[in-house]
A and B are shown apart, each in its own frame.
Chain A
C-alpha cells in the first residue's frame, strides 16, 4: 500500500502505473461486493458482474473527470452493471438463501451464542431485503446499509434525490411488517 488517495491512484493508473488500479480495487472491494451481492442476491452473478465492472472501470479510468469521488464513480459502474444483469437475467434464476449469503460474512462476534443471534438477525434482514424491487433494494443498501447521503446515492443511481427518498421510504414500508419484531425486540 502506498498511502495515495483514490484520485492519486486513478491518476497514476491512467499514467501507466501497473499496480495502482489493483490497489484501488482492494481498497473498495468489500463495499463493492456487498453492493453487488445485495443487489443481485446471487454470489456467482455478483462475482461475474463485479469482475466485468472492474475491467470496464480499468479501461475507462482515463475518462474520469474527477468531479465526483472515485468511490462514487466505482459504485455507479458496478450498480449499472448489476441492473444490466438483472434485465438480462434468465427467467427462473432465483435468489440464493440468506444463509448462503451469510456464509460470506466474517464472524466478528466474541462468542458463539452472540454470533448465532447476530447471524439469525442478519439472515432475516437479508431475506427481507430480497423481497424488495431491485430499485428499492439498491437505494436502501446505499443509504441505510452503506451510510451514503441521499445526494450521493442519487448520483450513483442516476436519478433525482427525491426519487431516492421515495424508494427508501417505500422500501422501509415494505420491510416493516417483515422486520417489526426485530425492531420491537
Chain B
C-alpha cells in the first residue's frame, strides 16, 4: 500500500493551538460553579499591594525628569531667533545634493 499521503516521520508537527497548550493536566479538573465562585470570592477579598513610598518617589522623579526634558525641547522649538514664518523652499535640498553627485 502506498503511504505517499502520510506525513514522513521527520515532518514538523504543527504546534497545538494556545488553548490546547495551556490546558490543565488531569490533576486539575474543571471546578463546579460553586467551587469556581468560592475561589473567585477568596481572590476578590484580597487587599491590593500598595506601592512602597520609595518606588513611588523614584518613578515620580523619573517622570519629572521626562517632563523637564520635554519642556526644554518645546522651549527650543519656540526659539524666538527663528523666523515666525518659514520661507517656502523652492528646491528640495536633498534632491539638490543628489543631483550634484
- In the complex, A173→B38 CA distance in Å? 11
A55 pairs with B50, CB closer than 8 A: no
Secondary structure call for the B interface? helix
Inter-chain contact total with CB atoms closer than 8 Å: 125
B47 pairs with A108, CB closer than 8 A: yes
A55 pairs with B62, CB closer than 8 A: yes
Shortest distance from the beta carbon of B28 to any chain A beta carbon, whole Å: 5
B62 pairs with A51, CB closer than 8 A: yes
Secondary structure call for the A interface? helix
Shortest distance from the beta carbon of B37 to any chain A beta carbon, whole Å: 9
- In the complex, A22→B56 CA distance in Å? 11
Count A interface residues, CB 8 Å: 53
Write the residues of chain B forming the contact surface with A, with a CB cutoff of 8 angstroms.
18-19, 22-24, 27-31, 35-36, 38-40, 42-44, 46-52, 55-56, 58-60, 62-64, 66-68, 70-71, 74
Write the residues of chain A forming the contact surface with B, with a CB cutoff of 8 angstroms.
16, 18-19, 21-22, 25-26, 29-34, 37-38, 47, 50-51, 54-55, 58-59, 101, 104-106, 108, 118, 122, 125, 133, 135-136, 140, 143-145, 147, 163, 166-170, 172-177, 179, 182-183
